[in-house]
A and B are shown apart, each in its own frame.
Chain A
Amino acid sequence: MKIAVCIKQVPSTSAPLQLDAGTRWLKEGETTFETNAADNHALEAALAIRDQLGGEVVVLTLGPERATEALREALAKGADRAIHLVSDQAPGLDPATVASLLASALAGEPWDLILCGLQSDDLGHGQTGAFLAEKLSLPQASIAAALEVTAEGQARVKRELEGGWYQWLELATPCLVTIQSGINKPRYAGMKGMLAAKKKPIVKQPVTEYPAGLTRQSIDELYYPHKAKQTRMLEGSPEAVATQLVAALNLRARP
């Protein structure tokens, strides 16, 4: 099984964001980056399938030089090799452009399975995987909450629907699956993995040409959500405030 996993490095979610109004991005020097959560689950899904069926797992990222760290970590967890499309402009590219660049990078090899995280924790478009499937003319299953692949090349995907519903899909490889966070418990990069990662190849391909006319979305302004709130304090007995609140919000008990 030859599996590609697309991963992205995103700002850490546990520290405050330091927005840069000038660049309409973050202050990179003040920001810690980490691998996108859903992509970690996608990587784990890929490694588990490879461990079961054999083959190789290749991780691919599009990002600035710093994103190599995410690839190194993936290699330490057990991916076999890595491809880094190096672009300082990556954070400002729209999903169509990103997917086109990824598609070109993947086009040269016969993949059985391509896995992507459902969406990124920074831009949050949630488009790259599906866009990529279309670009590569692959059948796709999205928002996978479970994924099984047989040695015969048949994939079974438990697709998450809204409101607690799921649906099993069957599709033949080659195909693309987008992975929901929480589908598995990603493994750790152990010390042996980190040692082994040093000997695994990371191919760096600088992005020099961008598909013309594709980056159509641009961030015009980036800001902290501010909501000038007027807090209305409700006063009186518990019964009085309860009545006021029910009236103010037009609250109803669900039948």
Chain B
Amino acid sequence: MSGGILVIVESVAEGISRASLEAIAYAQGLGGPVKVILPGAANQTQADALAALAVDEVLLADYSYPEGAGAGGYDGDGYVAVLAEAVRRLAPDQVFLAHSYGARDFAPRLAARLDLTLVSDCIGQEGEGDAVAFLRQMFLGRAQAKVKVAGEGPRLVSLQAGVARLEDLRRGSTPAPVSRTSLAMPAAPRVAAQAPLREGERSVDLSQARIIVAVGRGIKTQENIALAKKLADLLGAELAASRAVCDEGWLPIERQVGSSGQTVAPALYIALGISGAVQHLVGMKTSETIVAINKDASAPIFKVADYGIVGDLFQVVPALIAALEAA
């Protein structure tokens, strides 16, 4: 078989990564046959989760090293080997995957191995067939580009988290066929991996957050940040801030959004008491949905907001917390 779409998915402890499922939803949305491949060891839960989706085939592509070395953990060399084999064999038109930290490790190497081009961190596409253009953010989200791809062979495309909605992921009426393969790696592993660990002090990567609750000067005091934190915890959101708040030392600088902080584009950005200086807006205005709560109706933040509430955040936020707890 050739043509169609191949989606590379990654496993997480509980199953399949959310971003990978979004990539499948994205591929389903394009139409045409979709196969998915999970490199590395797969358990039954993961296999079942994939088979339940409306896809044409599920490939579980494991690899093994001589004498059982390196079994279990992520191994870039193993991933590249099994994926290169599968892409060669299946000859899909397009290969999609999530632009995850893992993909940043193996996807460019896969492209290099196969002499393909990889369009990374895409947020969508326009046009069809040879005229297709992929949309990418550039300059830390300050510009967007339409990228065209020339040449033969499958197009390799990694997708930014949030390009498709998980709600759009279609399930199949019958389980998809599942095949298991295992590739014998010719030599000993080149990289030895230890078990993942989580640091006591959790590091902040705002760019990965799905929801961000951000506070500005309107929060007034450090003590009031607890209120925003409560809302963030309730929503499973990261807490972020404008420069004024970080300058005061109320929140650490790694939570600062804007031209001198991080650039973010979460699915939902809730701005509390942020007036919206351009230096802040450049860091968040490409967020999918923006909610602004501010006392000043003329604050520029409302120009980029999808939902605006002119009011006292010290009244609105407690009401919001109550409404969420009741919902």
A and B touch in the complex (CB under 8 A): yes
Chain A interface residues (CB < 8 Å from chain B):
11, 13-14, 17, 19, 24, 94-96, 99, 118-119, 121-131, 133-135, 139-143, 145, 159-172, 178, 182, 213, 216-225, 227, 229-235, 237-239, 241-243, 245-246, 248-249, 251-254
Option from A125, A140, A253 in Cβ contact (under 8 Å) with B121? A125
**Which of chain B's residues has its CB closest to A160's CB?**
B101
Q: Are A171 and B190 in contact (CB under 8 A)?
A: yes
Residues of chain A within 8 A of B163, CB atoms compared: none
With A234-B307, A245-B307 in contact, do A123 and B109 touch (Cβ < 8 Å)? no
Q: Are B235 and A161 in contact (CB under 8 A)?
A: no
Residues of chain A within 8 A of B307, CB atoms compared: 231-234, 245, 248-249
Residues of chain B within 8 A of A217, CB atoms compared: 117, 119, 147-150
Residues of chain A within 8 A of B197, CB atoms compared: 165-168
**B89 contacts partner chain A, Cβ-Cβ < 8 Å:** no
Residues of chain B within 8 A of A139, CB atoms compared: 77, 190-191
Residues of chain B within 8 A of A135, CB atoms compared: 112
Task: Give A33 Cβ to nearest chain B Cβ, in Å.
Answer: 12
Task: Give A112 Cβ to nearest chain B Cβ, in Å.
Answer: 15
**B323 contacts partner chain A, Cβ-Cβ < 8 Å:** yes
Using a CB-CB cutoff of 8 Å, which residues 185-201 of chain B contact chain A?
A: 190-199
Q: Are A246 and B117 in contact (CB under 8 A)?
A: no
Chain B positions 86 through 102: 1 when the CB is less than 8 Å from some CB of chain A, otherwise 0: 00000000000001111
**B28 contacts partner chain A, Cβ-Cβ < 8 Å:** no
**B66 contacts partner chain A, Cβ-Cβ < 8 Å:** no
Q: Are B320 and A218 in contact (CB under 8 A)?
A: no
Task: Give B49 Cβ to nearest chain A Cβ, in Å.
Answer: 19
Q: Are B147 and A238 in contact (CB under 8 A)?
A: no
Q: Are A122 and B196 in contact (CB under 8 A)?
A: no
| Complex Cα–Cα for A131 and B121 (A) | 16
One of B133-141, B170-178, B221-229 at the interface: B133-141
Residues of chain A within 8 A of B285, CB atoms compared: 225, 227
Q: Are B322 and A253 in contact (CB under 8 A)?
A: no
Residues of chain B within 8 A of A121, CB atoms compared: 139-140
Chain B positions 147 through 184: 1 when the CB is less than 8 Å from some CB of chain A, otherwise 0: 11111000000000000000000000000000000000
| Complex Cα–Cα for A126 and B315 (A) | 43
With A169-B191, A242-B319, A242-B323 in contact, do A220 and B196 touch (Cβ < 8 Å)? no
Instruction: Name B's interface SS.
Output: mixed
Option from A119, A216, A239 in Cβ contact (under 8 Å) with B319? A239
Q: Are A162 and B100 in contact (CB under 8 A)?
A: yes
Task: Give A129 Cβ to nearest chain B Cβ, in Å.
Answer: 8
| Complex Cα–Cα for A237 and B320 (A) | 11
With A143-B101, A249-B307 in contact, do A170 and B327 touch (Cβ < 8 Å)? no
With A219-B145, A242-B319, A245-B291 in contact, do A130 and B109 touch (Cβ < 8 Å)? yes
| Complex Cα–Cα for A47 and B77 (A) | 28
| Complex Cα–Cα for A196 and B148 (A) | 45
Option from A142, A234, A239 in Cβ contact (under 8 Å) with B104? A142
| Complex Cα–Cα for A129 and B73 (A) | 22
Q: Are B137 and A225 in contact (CB under 8 A)?
A: yes
Q: Are B143 and A169 in contact (CB under 8 A)?
A: no
Residues of chain A within 8 A of B109, CB atoms compared: 130-131, 133-134, 140
Q: Are B150 and A216 in contact (CB under 8 A)?
A: yes
Q: Are B319 and A130 in contact (CB under 8 A)?
A: no
Q: Are B117 and A94 in contact (CB under 8 A)?
A: yes
**B303 contacts partner chain A, Cβ-Cβ < 8 Å:** yes
Q: Are B121 and A126 in contact (CB under 8 A)?
A: yes
| Complex Cα–Cα for A239 and B325 (A) | 13
Residues of chain B within 8 A of A124, CB atoms compared: 120-121, 136-140
Task: Give A144 Cβ to nearest chain B Cβ, in Å.
Answer: 11
**Which of chain B's residues has its CB closest to A103's CB?**
B112
**Which of chain B's residues has its CB closest to A119's CB?**
B104
Q: In this complex, which of A96, A129, A224, A225 has the most chain B Cβ atoms within 10 angstroms of its Cβ?
A: A225
Q: Are B105 and A142 in contact (CB under 8 A)?
A: yes
Q: Are B133 and A140 in contact (CB under 8 A)?
A: no
With A17-B142, A135-B112, A169-B193 in contact, do A219 and B147 touch (Cβ < 8 Å)? yes
